[in-house]
Amino acid sequence: MKKVVSLILILSLLGFVSGCTEYHAQGAGTGAIIGGVAGALLDHRNPWRGGVIGAALGGVAGATLVDISMRASREAAASGRPVEYRTEDGRGIYRADPVDYNARTRCHKVHERVWEDGNLVKDQVREVCESEKFERGY
């Protein structure tokens, strides 16, 4: 029974990751690695079980955070106004501020910041394009 549950869990995670963008896959992969290690360390009786459960939960959480980030940056670029999301308990804050627009490439630059418990944990500028971005290359 345990093997069947593990197989179903692994197949569902593979299906979940294959249906995502590259950003979702990166977020899910990072979350799965961190969750798997944490789960293995916390489950003293069966580290494999803890690792699998932690990887599954971490993968879902990582992909969800990336989805929120992408949605907010698109909203900020489209509206030209800052967008902010907060967790229900107020401990986590995501803010996207539109910075610049390049008419030639039709891309907006959005400044993203994430705070956890009042500490800045992520600070980056993301490009959000209205269509495909074309640049001269070699």
Query: Is residue 135 in a domain?
Result: no
Q: Which residue range is the domain that position 68 belongs to?
A: 2-129
Cα(76)–Cα(127) distance, integer angstroms: 11
How would residue 21 be classed by pLDDT, with cut points 50, 70 and 90?
Answer: low
Percent of the chain, pLDDT > 90? Answer: 9
Full-prediction pTM beyond 0.85? no
In a domain, 103, yes or no: yes
Q: Is 134 a domain residue?
A: no
Residue 37 lies inside a defined structural domain of this protein = yes
> Is pLDDT of 111 > 90?
yes
Query: Cα 2 vs. chain centroid, distance in angstroms?
Result: 29
Tell me the per-residue pLDDT of 73-88, one tens digit each, with 9 for 90 and over: 888 888 889 999 888 8
* Residue found by looking up tokens 């418990």 in the block: 117
Domain count across the chain: 1
The answer as to whether 137 is a domain residue is no
What is the C-alpha to C-alpha distance for residues 6 and 89, in angstroms, rounded to an integer?
33
